[in-house]
Structure 1
Amino acid sequence: MIKTRRELFSLSSTCASLAGLAFLAGCASSPTVAPKTTGWIKDEVADSYVFAYPLVLMDLAREAATGTDPGQAPVNTLRHAQALPPVGATSPSTPSLDTLDSTGWLDVSDEPVILSLPDSHGRYVDARALDMWTNVIWSTGAQTDARVGGLKAKTIAFVQKDWQGTLPANAKRIDVPTRYVWIDVRVQSNGKHDLTAVRKLQRAIRVAPLSVFNGDTRVASVVARSNPPDMGVSGTPATQVAALDANGFFNRLAQALQDNPPSPDDPHALNILGNLGVNPGEPVQLPKNASDAIAAGLADGRERVATPPSNLLMANGWKWFGDGVGNYGPDYALRAYAAFTQPGVGTKDDEVRAMVALDSDGHALNGANRYVIRFEPNQLPPVRGFWSITAYTKDGALGESAPAHVAVGDRNGAHRNRDGSLDVTVSSARGKSANWLPAPRADFQLVMRLYAPKPQATDGTWQPPAVVRQ
């Protein structure tokens, strides 16, 4: 928890009345004062790193994704992924094999930006918008029409909170607390044969500033030459944040704070930053003669960001987010960990992404072995949409030995046993199981995705089964 004040310690000198004239004279002229501790600096640097990590990550992600270079798109346009991740993809962000994403960065500082979503005619579509602190400010969420029955046409207006004016008819107003907004619209894909239909639906999604929207609804979008830049891709935002020293991190934070203030619940965190010499829009002036304490605080902050918080759900080796995800309030530890492990994660109603890297005996999963995940009849993943399991390398990439676009789930014909249970076999070598999930040959991890999860998936009443080595 961010501390409420500095802890400064000092030693006052005392003169003893019976200690002799010489000692008394020396005591009066040269009082001894212990040097001020730098412990508060270490603690406040660590606390501030955890607090600020999501904003710095999002700011770097926005910078990497916006522009006119290959792999980028201008602000207030969408970029459409056109193909599922290829075999051997090196993204460490566990890319989904279930959906194609249309993503974009919005700037609402001058005027509202309008998002128009078409009728998906029964196809699963999930859309979300995050502010620069990774809070989900809008999503299709618990709306049943966006799930099993598909998405109905809708228009969303993202508006700076103090803006006054007229919006398009039937547009839902969403007040935005930060200058920038990240949009992600995910469209279900059923494989290569389905891509034409997915692309047609993507082309019907529109994003435009209000003035452009009112003048011409045929606004621009960008077809991706490859998949959209991911906020966790190696060599881009996540690793860039990790490479920043204290001056680099806090200077980036100070600049981002100008346009993207924290929520009203966070004024004390800004006071703590002020103690460290970090103020919005100003050059950072970290405490002098405290380089060791600053370095130690930075190291502690990095470790805390990567440490699962106590309110993370965990069972049978799996880890996943519960009810608090996406709307964090003052839970800075959960917010930072979510940004670190699953950038862009939605709310409990959008998706559950459970991850496991150990078997039921606590050993690392390895493709040389054969594993079984057994879902009892009443323990299948609780969803209103669909679910899938995919294997990745320990770094989160798709293994080169795995066939392209392979996942196991209820959407692609997972076979149940006679009693209604379901067994998924995981190994690098093909087995006789009807539900075989290809795995990398070395150490690997599994990701189970629950699209449109039911409440029991995030309140702890349902747990993923153990991964048992055979």
Structure 2
Amino acid sequence: MREFGRIGLGPQATEALDDLNENTRRGLQRALVDGNILLQKLAQAGGDTKVVNNWFYGDKNWGRMAESGDFLGRASPQSYAGGIEHWVEMAAKLRSFADADGEILNGKNNYRIRFEKDQIPTARAFWSISVYDDKFNLAETDWDKYLVSDATENLVYGQDGSLEIYLQQDQPEQAHRANWIPLPKGDFNLFFRFYLPNQSMIDQTYVPPPVRKTAAN
């Protein structure tokens, strides 16, 4: 807070922004642009976190990152993944920007996420997979639907206990609609959340399946 105060920000500011010297004001204007670019790149790169099948785990100290001085790591998800971050014991999260082949997720394609029986997500509260646009907002589509979760009505499981999630712009055949998440035009990313997660998410041993490009369903 003392550092911020030196440039006219926060409760410890010693002078108003308008009274700062010209060089400092220009630096702050540049920081508004460069700072956001840096935070967005860090959000997309995942930071120094575990990556499994192109899903990024959050920091194991999620929600407490400032305690270790990782202010940059804290600022990025707070800017592009929600204003407040939960402790990992409350909510564990995975994020993906790329498919199984490492290609950027884009709504012009169709995708499928297949959970084998022993991969089915579990959480003491609930889990969900949501689609976000390239500005980190819930993706706007032609359909009033943004996610699939264990609370989705009529979710269909395979005879072998597997679960398949379908991601595409067009509405699929009736048998797949409960398991479908509509996609926006352009690039998008996925948020895989576990509320009151099990231990495998907290210690990051859970292996999520990749997002695979497919034909339409």
Give the TM-score, by structure 2 length: 0.75
SS of 1:335's equivalent in the other structure is helix
Do residues 282 (structure 1) and 26 (structure 2) align? no
Which of these residues, 124, 128, 143, is aligned with residue 384 of structure 1? 124
**Superposition pairs of residues 13-52 of structure 1, within 5 angstroms:** none
CA RMSD of aligned residues (A): 3.2
1:430 to 167, 171, 176: 171
Q: Which residue of 1 aligns with 2:160?
A: 419
- Report the equivalent of 2:139: 398
TM-score (norm 1): 0.37
Name 1:365's counterpart in structure 2. 105
> 5+ unaligned residues in a row in structure 1: which ranges?
1-47, 57-246, 256-279
Shift, 1:304, TM fit:
4.2
Higher normalized contact order (CA 8 Å, seq sep 6+, divided by chain length)? 2
Aligned residues: 199
Deviation at 1:444, TM superposition (A): 2.3
Closer/same/farther in 2, CA of residues 448 and 345 from structure 1, 3 Å limit: same
448-457 vs 299-308, which moves further: 299-308
Question: Could you tell me how far apart the structure 1 residues matched to 2:163 and 2:104 are?
Answer: 23
Q: Which amino acid in structure 1 is aligned with residue 212 of structure 2?
A: V
Distance 1:440 1:288 in 2: 45
Cα deviation for residue 331 of structure 1 reads: 2.1
Aligned counterpart, 1:332: 71
Larger Cα-atom Rg: 1
Amino acid at match of 2:49: L
Please give the secondary structure, in 2, of the residue aligned with 1:384. Answer: strand
Aligned partner letter, 2:62: V
CA contact (8 A) 2:64 2:87 kept: yes
2:139 is the counterpart of 1:407: no
What amino acid is the match of 1:339? Q
Alpha-carbon shift at residue 462 of structure 1 (Å)? 1.2
Structure 2 residues without counterparts, runs of 5 or longer: none
Q: CA 1:349 to 1:283, structure 2 compared with 1: closer, same or farther past 3 Å? A: same
Contact 1:424/1:436 (8 A) holds in 2: yes
Report the Cα offset of residue 288 of structure 1.
6.8
Match of 2:185 among 441, 444, 453: 441
Listed one character per residue, the Cα deviations across residues 230-259 of structure 1 (whole Å, up to 9, x for unaligned) are xxxxxxxxxxxxxxxxx9xx3233x2xxxx
- Does structure 2 retain, via aligned residues, the 8 Å contact 1:386–1:450? yes
Classify 1:426/1:400 alpha carbon distance in 2 versus 1 (closer, same or farther; 3 Å). Answer: closer
Deviation, 1:424, is: 0.7
